Amino acid sequence: MIGDRITLAHGEGGWLSRQLIERVIAPAFANSVLGPLNDSAILPASPRRLAFTTDSFVVTPLFFPGGDIGRLAVFGTVNDLVVSGARPRWMSLALILEEGLEVDVLRRVLGSASDAARASDVQIVAGDTKVVPRGAADKMFVATTGIGEMIDPVPPGPAAIEAGDVLIVSGPVGRHGIAILAARENLGLSPPPTSDCGSLAGLVEALRSREIPVRAMRDATRGGVTAVLHEWASTCGLTLAVEEHWLPVGDDVRGASELLGLDPIHIANEGTMVVAVPQGVAEGTLQALRGRPEGAQAAVIGHAEVDRGTPVMIRRGLGRERPLDLPSGAMLPRIC
C-alpha cells in the first residue's frame, strides 16, 4: 500500500520504496533503457560528440499557469542541450521529496515530465528518490542531467560574434518570471499571466533546416535577456546595443512589471532564446522562427558594435542610450 502521502519510509529502501518506484515513478518513464531498474543505465555508443548538462529545480509553487516543476525540469534540460547544438537523447531525473507530500502531486508532476520527455524525444533513463523530514525541503526538488548528440554544424558560440551582427529574441520576454510571481504572491492579475515554459528544440531545428549560420544561441533563463547579453559581451569583447521598444513584451507582463517596478528585459524566461546571426541572414532567421507558433513574435532587438567601453547599452523612450546593468539582489527567488 503506497498511501496518499509520502512518508520517510518511502525513501528508506524497503518495500515502500520499491513500491513507489515500481508503481509510481518507473511507469511514468517506461522505456527500453530504464526497464531493468539497475544501478546504471547502459547507453548505446554514439559516433558523435556528446553534450552533457546538469540542472536543478526548486520552483515554488510546483504548479503555475503554463507549467509545473516536472515540465520545467525536462524542458529546461532539453533547452540547455539544444541551444548548445545538440539533439537531446537521454536524461536522469532525481527527486528530493518532503515528508507529507501528496502522492497525487508526485503523480501529476511525473506525468507532465513524462509528456515533456516524449514531446522532446528524450528518454529518462536514470533516477533517484530521496525523502527528507518535513521542513527539510519545500515539497519537492528535482535534479536532472541531460546528454545529447552534437549535430553539425555546431554554432561557434558568443566568441564568434562580430560587430554588425544582429540580436534576435525568439518570443515575448519575461513571461515565466511574472507568471511565477503572480501565482506565488496572489497578485490577483486577471487572466493570470502564463509562463513560456516550453521546448526550444523546434525553433533550433527550424534554424538548422534553413541552414542559418547562427553565431550563438542561449535560452534566456534567470537574469533574462540582460544576463545573456552581458555574458556574450564579456566573451566577444564588443558592445551589444539594444532598443527597448523593439523588445516584444506582452501586455500582461508589461502591466505587471510596471506595477512592481521590474524591467521585463531582466525577467526570466523558460522557453525563449536570444540568437546572434550575421546581418545578412537576420530576415531569414526571423522567417524561420516565425514559422513556428512559439516563435511567432520573434523580433530583432539590437546588434553588436565595436567596443564602446560599455558591455550592454539600451536605447530607451527618449532616444538616449544608457548602460543596461545586471540587476542586483534577489529579485525573484526560486523561479526555476
Partner 1 sequence: MKYLDEFRDPKLAGRLVDRIRRAASRTWVIMEVCGGQTHGLLRHGIDEALAGAVELIHGPGCPVCVTPIESIDFACELAKRPGTIVASFGDMLRVPGSNGSLNRSHQEGGDARIVYSPLDAVELAIRNPDRDVVFFAVGFETTMPATALAVLQAADRKLQNFSILSAHVRVLPAMRGILSDPGNRVQAFLAAGHVCTITGYREYGELAARFGVPIVVTGFEPVDLLEGILECVTQLETGRHCVTNRYERSVRAEGNREAREIVDRVYEVADRPWRGLGIVPGGGFVLRRAYEQFDARWRFGSVATELPVLGDVRCRSGEVLSGRIRPTECAEFGEGCTPDSPLGAPMVSSEGACAAYFRYSRFPGQIACPVLSGQE
Of the pair 47, 261, the CB lying nearest partner 1 is at 261
Of the pair 191, 309, the CB lying nearest partner 1 is at 309
At its nearest, how many Å lie between partner 1 and the CB of residue 330? 8
- Contact between 53 and 81 (Cβ < 8 Å): yes
273-277 and 321-323 beta bridge pairing:
unpaired
Of the pair 153, 323, the CB lying nearest partner 1 is at 323
At its nearest, how many Å lie between partner 1 and the CB of residue 187? 8
At its nearest, how many Å lie between partner 1 and the CB of residue 32? 47
Of the pair 18, 322, the CB lying nearest partner 1 is at 322
At its nearest, how many Å lie between partner 1 and the CB of residue 251? 6
Locate 164 and state its grid cell.
554588425
Give the full edge-to-edge strand order of the sheet including 166-169. 216-219, 273-277, 166-169, 299-305, 239-243, 312-315, 321-323
Residues in the chain: 336
Footprint on this chain of partner 1 (rule: CB under 8 A): 185, 187, 251, 254-255, 258, 261, 308-311, 316-323, 325, 328-329
Could you please report the per-residue DSSP string of 237-262? -SEEEEEGGGS---HHHHHHHHHHT-
Locate 264 and state its grid cell.
521585463
Of the pair 278, 327, the CB lying nearest partner 1 is at 327
- Contact between 239 and 135 (Cβ < 8 Å): no
Return the DSSP state at 311.
Answer: S
Of the pair 47, 329, the CB lying nearest partner 1 is at 329
Interacting residues of 16 by C-beta distance below 8 A, sequence separation 6+ = 2, 7, 9, 10
Burial class of 258 by CB neighbour count within 10 A (0 to 12, 13 to 18, 19+): exposed
At its nearest, how many Å lie between partner 1 and the CB of residue 145? 30
At its nearest, how many Å lie between partner 1 and the CB of residue 181? 9
Of the pair 75, 232, the CB lying nearest partner 1 is at 232
Count Cα neighbours of 335 within 13 Å in the Cβ-side half-sphere. Answer: 25
At its nearest, how many Å lie between partner 1 and the CB of residue 313? 9
Of the pair 55, 252, the CB lying nearest partner 1 is at 252
At its nearest, how many Å lie between partner 1 and the CB of residue 308? 6
Locate 31 and state its grid cell.
522505456
Could you please report the per-residue DSSP string of 42-106? PPPP-SS-EEEEEEEE--SSSEETTEEHHHHHHHHHHHHHHTTTEEEEEEEEEEEEETT-BHHHH
